[in-house]
Amino acid sequence: MTTRSMRIPEDINRAIQYVAKMEKIENTQSLQKLARLGFERYATVNYQNGKLTLRETAALLDLSLSETIDLLGGIGVKGNIRAADVLESLKRLEH
């Protein structure tokens, strides 16, 4: 794990303290959790907008494809795979 030093805006600091209090964890753990959630949101928005593939999203989040699909489904993000892509893949499997 890497240690970073940074200035944290007051509103973000309040959010860190709030999560720490609600979940009964240390501020450091709270910041890590919020950073992870923020990155997951960033990656899923880019996936949803077609800037990332499912495989790229999974790799960025260090998750398996099925874990990524579960994450995306859990937050209501629909796949960006077209029916034509699925049919083409199925045709290739037949040969």
Does residue 5 lie within any of the structural domains?
no
Does residue 47 lie within any of the structural domains?
yes
Tell me whether residue 80 is exposed, middle or buried, using C-beta atoms within 10 angstroms of its C-beta: 0 to 12, 13 to 18, 19 or more. middle
Residue 95 pLDDT greater than 90, yes or no? no
| Residue 52: Cβ within 10 Å count | 19
Tally the domains of the chain. Answer: 1
Output the pTM of the full model.
Answer: 0.76
Does residue 3 lie within any of the structural domains?
no
Give the total residue count for the chain.
95
Query: Whole-angstrom Cα distance, residue 15 to residue 11?
Result: 6
Does residue 4 lie within any of the structural domains?
no
Query: What is the domain extent for residue 62?
Result: 10-94
Does residue 1 lie within any of the structural domains?
no
Token pair of 93 as six digits: 């499997």
Cα separation values, 11 from 5, 30, 41, 82, 85, Å: 18, 14, 19, 41, 44
Q: Which residue has the higher pLDDT, 7 or 81?
A: 7
Does residue 56 lie within any of the structural domains?
yes
